[in-house]
Structure 1
Amino acid sequence: MPSESEPRRFLIATATAHYKNEPSWDRPGLVDARQDIIDLFTKQFGYEHVSDLGLDPSQHQLTERLRAFCRSSEREDDDLVAVYLAGHGEVLDEEDGGGHVLLTHDTDPDDITDALPTELLARKMLSGTRVRRLLLLLDTCYSGQGGNELTAAALRRLNRAWGTVSETGLVIVSSAQPFEQAEAGAFPRTLREAVENVATAGHGPKALALEAVVQQMNAQGGHQRVGLTQVGLTGKVPAFFPNPRHDPQLTHVDLAVQQEAAWQREADRRDVELHTRLLKRAMGSADPGRHGWWFAGRRTALGDITDWLAESRSEPTRCALVVTAGPGSGKTAVLGLFAALAHDELRHTVPVHTLELQPATVAAARSIDVAVYAQSLTNQQLLEALTAAAKVHASTIGELVEALQKRDSPLTVLIDGLDEATTPDTLCTGIVRPLMEHAGHGIRLLLGTRPHLLPGMGLLRDQQVDLDADRYADPEAVMSYTMRNLLQADPASPYRTCGPTLRRAVAAAVAGAAGRSFLVARIAAGTLAAVPEVPDPQDAEWRANLPKHAD
């Protein structure tokens, strides 16, 4: 029962499940549908069920009993009245006068034009009555059409008295659009699911927003689209649906659940980036269908990154290290290897012994908390990725810095593809650099980018892992990678059957032309593997035409 300060709530629920003049119209499923509505409104929303109409009303019974209830002297201006009507509905042809009609228990199948015009309900319930807050649930075929006509009729019936009461209005929820048929029982089921869905509202709001309820109903799929129409509103929409979860003390729970969900969405995005970008580049195969690891060498680069990661997390010598170089150098492959080793599940799929990785490298990689691939990310998206990784709520870079300063140990983040972000320059100057300069020991950044962005972060190229520098040159790795491509890039590769001396001479020529570019080596070797004939590696013209790395 409502308290003295709350309005009274009344439900009238009826359904035409049987038709005395046309048994083929019978819809016995509507008996349970009506009961579902009664249970929902009385048990969840606190409505009092007015049972005068019951099941299978005639046209006269329907209109007169609705009219009698609405005109009763017991009605008060702030009463909340909900009416559920279920049954067959039809749209008349224009030559028959057009409009939506409700088929009642006594409708003559040979004279449907004499069925109950849906718009008549507006006059019966609103004209000369004290009803000011009316929710009409139309669960019929083509009910959207009926709702539109009811709306038009209601606008003609609303009088000035409506404006003297706050939070008044007529709300029509239609189970189907104007040209859609309705499935028996679908409307009550989707309504209950929407009401019980925390996505509609958590514990905070006292009432469920009608728009949110309808949105959730439509989000459940199905061929029907629920419609919502509101007219005569004075102030807020009447609270027809009290929130069954309302508990102010649990509002913080809602926020925590929403925050966890947002963090999980970010984690899912990182997982996609890892599998589709970083891992693929680390494995080194040009064929997305291949799952073997083609990574080769880069021992010096791996060693320097390992040393940086292994520095004391409480007092690191520098908070950022960048793996940089021109295109094709393999910087994403290097960073992708560390990202894979940092992942709890993927770590076990990396062939550590085959790749001859040092135990220190495997151990150091585990200090990386998250790997982000910045391609096409905006500044805001990177900020959201970092706040999710740190599990803090921060809407600005300043708030994130403040949160990181409070950490007992640094957050270690790998970010590759800075130069491929939506706005690389502002991302580096507006997000990355402030973290480096103001977050103290709260964050460590292992970055991947081309050299031109280094000045914007206040970094010197010769202090980074520059894969184009002589220190990191690895001709043996390029040669090994070239040989792997010649043998395995194409299943019909002629290098599988040619002599090892010839194969090695071709690989040496390709690797020599590629220089430090693993990308050039992959393209050239992959192209040769697809050609049936093996070239003469001593042919000066052939060697001159090999793709070369641009120094």
Structure 2
Amino acid sequence: MRYLIAAGTRHYVEEPELPLVHQDVDGVVGLFASMGYQRVLASVSHDPASADFEDALSDWCQSPGLTADDVLVVYYAGHGSRSATNQYRLACADSTHGRPRSWLSLPNLAEVVAESPLRNVLFVIDACHAAAAGAGLGAVTDTVVAGRGRGDELGSGTWLLASARHRDTAVDGAFVSELAKAYRQGDGASQRHLSPGTIADRVNQSFVASGLRQRAACSSVDQSEPPPFFPNPLFDPQAEVTGEGCTDAGSADLASHFEPRGRGVEQVYDSGSYFTGRERALRRGRDHLAGEEGPGILVVTADPGSGKSAVLWWP
């Protein structure tokens, strides 16, 4: 199952209002619903008190039926700042500077989630200086993971997609619309999912084009599998290349994997042909295929990314 928790705070006790936060929350709900996510904890989605949100998350994470294969995305929009002890925190409807516990603690949220059965978690923080949340999330998650038993799968780990870097201020309403555009671009037909890094890069391209100074960022901890958070809307099962180097249908691997690499590009839809050199390797391969080296097997081996697929495409 895919689950979404989306919340944000527009009205505050001491901080200025963020008029577009609720609109952003609703936009995230619609976007992730199109990816097959089920929304949970809607009762604490608009202007929650910090304790109410944390308690609701804690109760839900102990729900029976959650498994390591489930995927969770937690989105929060609002004011973000550092405390007197330099800990990154998020403002809620009841947050005041004289009451530290009235702020939402990212390490607390990370601990709650890390102690649940969930092993595929993405925090999307839409706030000023949001990338600063990565330190707290990572430290707590690493500590909890270190205490797990042998054989406990890591899954894709815990990810952070931040709408702004450590020193960046975030523009109210700027991130979610670009997030949706970045996702809907999709990727090559053989790619099952879009990586959060790809999403962040595309958002940043739009920020640059719009003249905005903020930049999105992403990070992860304890990752052992590809991140499954953004299903590729252009994915074609007939073109998928499996982990064994084969495809789910016929010779689609020739089109989706070897052909673009043989041209020196990343995806099938990229234009151009830039492959040069490797004359000795190509000549050896052609001689072997022509039978000039006698019977036997020719093995092509080299470091990852060195061009094995490109060489194999050409003979």
How many residues are matched? 253
Given the alignment of the two structures, is residue 48 of structure 1 paired with residue 38 of structure 2, yes or no?
Answer: yes
Identity %: 26
For residues 186-241 of structure 1, the C-alpha deviation after alignment (integer angstroms, 9 at most, x for no partner) is: 2212211211225xx1222111122222222222223112121111112x223111
Tell me which residue corresponds to 2:271.
Answer: 262
User: Structure 2 vs 1, CA of residues 262 and 134 (structure 1 numbering), >3 Å: closer, same or farther?
Assistant: same
1:98 equivalent among 86, 94, 97? 86
2:22 equivalent among 1, 25, 31? 31
User: Structure 2 vs 1, CA of residues 28 and 262 (structure 1 numbering), >3 Å: closer, same or farther?
Assistant: same
Given the alignment of the two structures, is residue 237 of structure 1 paired with residue 226 of structure 2, yes or no?
Answer: yes
User: Structure 2 vs 1, CA of residues 40 and 262 (structure 1 numbering), >3 Å: closer, same or farther?
Assistant: same
1:132 equivalent among 119, 131, 143? 119
Given the alignment of the two structures, is residue 151 of structure 1 paired with residue 138 of structure 2, yes or no?
Answer: yes
Equivalent-residue separation in structure 1 for 2:151 and 2:204 (angstroms): 32
Equivalent-residue separation in structure 2 for 1:124 and 1:56 (angstroms): 21
Equivalent-residue separation in structure 1 for 2:199 and 2:150 (angstroms): 25
**8 A Cα contact 2:193 2:228, kept in partner:** yes
User: Structure 2 vs 1, CA of residues 259 and 104 (structure 1 numbering), >3 Å: closer, same or farther?
Assistant: closer
User: Structure 2 vs 1, CA of residues 205 and 162 (structure 1 numbering), >3 Å: closer, same or farther?
Assistant: farther
Tell me which residue corresponds to 1:225.
Answer: 215
**8 A Cα contact 1:12 1:53, kept in partner:** no
Structure 1 alignment gaps of length 5 or more: 1-7, 264-382, 385-393, 399-551
Given the alignment of the two structures, is residue 188 of structure 1 paired with residue 179 of structure 2, yes or no?
Answer: no
Residue 46 of structure 1 aligns to a residue whose secondary structure is: coil
For residues 370-403 of structure 1, the C-alpha deviation after alignment (integer angstroms, 9 at most, x for no partner) is: xxxxxxxxxxxxx84xxxxxxxxx65698xxxxx
Q: Normalized against structure 2, the TM-score is what? A: 0.72
Counterpart of 2:125 in structure 1: which amino acid? Answer: L
Residue 158 of structure 2 aligns to a residue whose secondary structure is: strand
Tell me which residue corresponds to 1:118.
Answer: 106
Tell me which residue corresponds to 2:61.
Answer: 70
Equivalent-residue separation in structure 2 for 1:162 and 1:38 (angstroms): 36
**8 A Cα contact 2:92 2:102, kept in partner:** no
Equivalent-residue separation in structure 2 for 1:214 and 1:165 (angstroms): 27
Q: Normalized against structure 1, the TM-score is what? A: 0.43
User: Structure 2 vs 1, CA of residues 249 and 186 (structure 1 numbering), >3 Å: closer, same or farther?
Assistant: same
Tell me which residue corresponds to 2:190.
Answer: 204
Counterpart of 2:193 in structure 1: which amino acid? Answer: A
- Give the superposition deviation at 1:137: 0.6
Equivalent-residue separation in structure 2 for 1:37 and 1:162 (angstroms): 36
User: Structure 2 vs 1, CA of residues 167 and 131 (structure 1 numbering), >3 Å: closer, same or farther?
Assistant: closer
Equivalent-residue separation in structure 2 for 1:260 and 1:171 (angstroms): 29
For residues 143-200 of structure 1, the C-alpha deviation after alignment (integer angstroms, 9 at most, x for no partner) is: 11122221112111223248522634001111111111111222212211211225xx
Equivalent-residue separation in structure 2 for 1:397 and 1:122 (angstroms): 49
User: Structure 2 vs 1, CA of residues 194 and 163 (structure 1 numbering), >3 Å: closer, same or farther?
Assistant: farther
Equivalent-residue separation in structure 1 for 2:150 and 2:172 (angstroms): 35
Equivalent-residue separation in structure 2 for 1:188 and 1:227 (angstroms): 14
**8 A Cα contact 2:29 2:39, kept in partner:** yes
User: Structure 2 vs 1, CA of residues 123 and 192 (structure 1 numbering), >3 Å: closer, same or farther?
Assistant: same
For residues 267-312 of structure 1, the C-alpha deviation after alignment (integer angstroms, 9 at most, x for no partner) is: xxxxxxxxxxxxxxxxxxxxxxxxxxxxxxxxxxxxxxxxxxxxxx
Equivalent-residue separation in structure 2 for 1:162 and 1:202 (angstroms): 36
Equivalent-residue separation in structure 2 for 1:219 and 1:163 (angstroms): 40
Structure 2 alignment gaps of length 5 or more: 240-251, 280-315
Residue 85 of structure 1 aligns to a residue whose secondary structure is: strand
Equivalent-residue separation in structure 1 for 2:151 and 2:175 (angstroms): 32
Equivalent-residue separation in structure 1 for 2:99 and 2:238 (angstroms): 58
User: Structure 2 vs 1, CA of residues 249 and 75 (structure 1 numbering), >3 Å: closer, same or farther?
Assistant: closer
- After superposition, the CA RMSD in angstroms is 2.7
Equivalent-residue separation in structure 1 for 2:97 and 2:160 (angstroms): 27
Counterpart of 1:125 in structure 2: which amino acid? Answer: V
Tell me which residue corresponds to 1:369.
Answer: none
Which structure has the bigger radius of gyration?
1
Residue 182 of structure 1 aligns to a residue whose secondary structure is: coil
**8 A Cα contact 2:48 2:92, kept in partner:** yes
Counterpart of 1:214 in structure 2: which amino acid? Answer: A
- Give the superposition deviation at 1:259: 6.9
User: Structure 2 vs 1, CA of residues 84 and 397 (structure 1 numbering), >3 Å: closer, same or farther?
Assistant: closer
**8 A Cα contact 1:132 1:162, kept in partner:** no
Residue 123 of structure 1 aligns to a residue whose secondary structure is: helix
For residues 467-497 of structure 1, the C-alpha deviation after alignment (integer angstroms, 9 at most, x for no partner) is: xxxxxxxxxxxxxxxxxxxxxxxxxxxxxxx
* Matches for 1:440-455 after TM superposition, within 5 Å: none
